[in-house]
Chains A and B, each alone.
Chain A
């Protein structure tokens, strides 16, 4: 129910997610983020344009990943969250914690 594609672009890792991030799939996203950051790819863009549903399980994974990246002097930046995902991010106050960009290229270019 979720498809996660990871690609490297110079010093930046792009993670594109398609589908739902819920309590059944969030661990897949968490594993992908952990694998990249622990592997030294600490500049991450998470493209959420094809995610129409994210529950607190997904938020937990991206917060964990952001902490991990920041500890390594990196960052996880979000690109194009849908209105529904943005609403959930805002309710949890994460719109002020994450840097959020309206396009993938803006997010990639921000590093």
Chain B
């Protein structure tokens, strides 16, 4: 299935994220990622979709969508996540500090941080007015 694209579109609602996670897991497994890699992809997709629904769509995304496109490119699985929220590059956010004390923790920012840790690379593009985050995961 080299270079074959698989895509899925879900409504922008939290309840739909599991479908996106299952979809990405299935593609990742099919192209040969191990269980750890599959977990990393699944968690990353959940974190990004959750951010889009929470911050991009303001929990009001039932009539909006998130599109996920998976593609094998060389030795990587590329997962592109596209949304129609106002342009925003989450990679510009400052990483939270794991050394923070309990009382300094306000709860935010960990999702994108985990994605950066788990993926081989992450980049942001604005594609015909849509936010597009492209996650690359090494297959071996």
Contact = CB atoms under 8 A, between A and B. Distances in A.
Chain B interface residue number, banded: 20 to 34
A55 B111 contact: yes
A47 to B, nearest CB: 21
A59 interface: yes
Chain A interface residue number, banded: 20 to 34
Contact of B105 (A23, A24, A55, A63): A63
- Interface of chain B, main secondary structure: helix
A95 to B, nearest CB: 9
A23 B42 CA distance: 12
Interface in A52-69: 53, 55-57, 59-60, 63-64, 66-67
Which residue, of A60, A67, A88, A92, has the highest number of chain B Cβ atoms within 10 A?
A: A92
Contacts of B43: 53, 55, 88
Nearest to A23: B50
In the A-B complex, the 5 residue pairs with the closest CB atoms: A93-B98, A56-B110, A23-B50, A60-B107, A56-B111
